[in-house]
């Protein structure tokens, strides 16, 4: 039975890496799939991971209709066994419904990947709809870590070195060092999100201390 599955977690927890791995595993068994993404860090028409792996993808814009894309391929004899849909938090709720229709009426597996909440800790519309109607919601088990060493649960937006709590829901940035005025993102534990304390505001004695290397036992 085909399924609509939503894999979710904070930034930097391996969602895109898993998307690439799933595509590899299914393709290696002779299954034919389509890859979609939106606002990928590497640019338009790509699905990339922070480990340096990437592949071509169909870019999802506001007008894309997943049902029309899949039916168009199938109607000319092209096999479509599964879809890999990265950055699904940016999809419109109607597009998520289209994905569900692809699963239910054409029996195509759909694997979606995305973060659940934005920098204000509010659900993205695409993620909200996936949580509502997906057959399964899987929280990734690879924990991203806050600068303090605790498990990170919140995606924080940083502008000019300060944490932002207001603004447009979607502003493209990355987990990288950025220049003045640029947008960065940092994963934080709830405690330091509530305190508005990013790694830049932390004093050196607050940062995790690396244990000294000892002999192997």
Model pLDDT for residues 77-117, shown as the tens digit of each residue: 999 999 999 999 999 999 999 999 999 999 999 999 999 99
107 in the same domain as 10: yes
Query: pLDDT tens-digit profile of 149-170?
Result: 998 888 898 887 788 887 777 7
Q: Would you say the C-alpha torsion 88, 117, 137, 105 has a positive or negative sign?
A: negative
Mean pLDDT (the chain) is: 85
Is the domain of 39 the same as that of 97?
yes
In a domain, 213, yes or no: no
Given this model, what pLDDT does residue 204 score? 60
Q: What is the pLDDT of residues 170-217, one digit of tens each?
A: 766 554 444 445 788 899 999 999 999 998 877 665 655 444 434 333
Could you tell me if 93 and 114 are in contact, meaning their C-beta atoms sit under 8 angstroms apart?
Answer: no
User: Is residue 30 in some structural domain?
Assistant: yes
The residue segments making up the domain with residue 175 are 154-203
Place of tokens 């922070």: 50
**C-beta separation of 130 from 114 below 8 A:** yes
In whole angstroms, give the CA distance from residue 82 to residue 79.
9
The span from the CA of 23 to the CA of 41, in Å, is 19
Nearest to 16 by CA among 43, 51, 44, 64: 51
127 and 173: one domain? Answer: no
Domain identity same for 25 and 75: yes
Task: Give me the torsion for CA of 52, 113, 190, 161, rounded to 10°.
Answer: 50
Distance (Å, rounded) from C-alpha 207 to C-alpha 97?
44
Whether 87 is a known active-site residue: answer yes
pLDDT for the residue numbered 140: 85
Range with the largest mean pLDDT of 38-47, 61-70, 135-144: 61-70
Question: In the prediction, which pLDDT does 48 show?
Answer: 76
Examine residue 15 and state whether it is found in any structural domain, yes or no.
yes
Please say which residue of 139, 167, 191 terminates a domain: 139
* C-alpha to C-alpha distance for 116 and 124, rounded to whole angstroms: 6
Residue 102 lies in a domain: yes
Q: Is the alpha carbon torsion for 5, 10, 15, 16 positive or negative?
A: positive
* Whether residue 106 is found in the same domain as residue 198: no
Structural domain count of the chain: 2
Q: Catalytic: which of 87, 166, 184, 210?
A: 87
pLDDT reported for residue 173: 54
Higher pLDDT, 54 or 42: 54
Q: What is the pLDDT of residue 2?
A: 95
Answer with the residue of higher pLDDT: 119 or 168: 119
Sheet with strand 183-188: strands edge to edge: 162-164, 154-159, 183-188
């Amino acid at each position: 039975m085909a399924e609509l599955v939503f894999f979710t977690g904070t930034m930097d927890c391996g969602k895109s890496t898993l998307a690439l791995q799933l595509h590899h595993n299914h393709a290696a068994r002779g299954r034919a799939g389509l890859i979609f993404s939106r606002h990928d860090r590497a640019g338009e028409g790509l699905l990339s991971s922070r480990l340096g792996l990437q592949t071509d993808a169909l870019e999802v814009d506001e007008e894309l209709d997943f049902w029309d894309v899949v039916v168009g391929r199938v109607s000319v004899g092209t096999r479509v066994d599964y879809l890999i849909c990265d950055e699904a938090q940016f999809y419109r709720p109607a597009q998520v419904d289209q994905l569900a229709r692809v699963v239910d009426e054409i029996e195509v597996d759909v694997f979606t990947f995305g973060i659940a909440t934005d920098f204000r800790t509010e659900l993205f519309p695409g993620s909200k709809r996936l949580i509502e109607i997906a057959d399964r919601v899987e929280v990734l088990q690879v924990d991203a870590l806050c600068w303090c060493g605790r498990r990170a649960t919140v995606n924080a937006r940083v502008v000019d070195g300060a944490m932002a709590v207001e603004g447009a829901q979607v502003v493209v940035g990355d987990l990288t060092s950025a220049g003045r005025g640029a947008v960065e993102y940092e994963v934080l534990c709830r405690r330091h999100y509530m305190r508005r304390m990013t790694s830049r505001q932390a004093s050196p004695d607050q940062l995790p201390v690396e244990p000294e290397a000892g002999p192997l036992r």
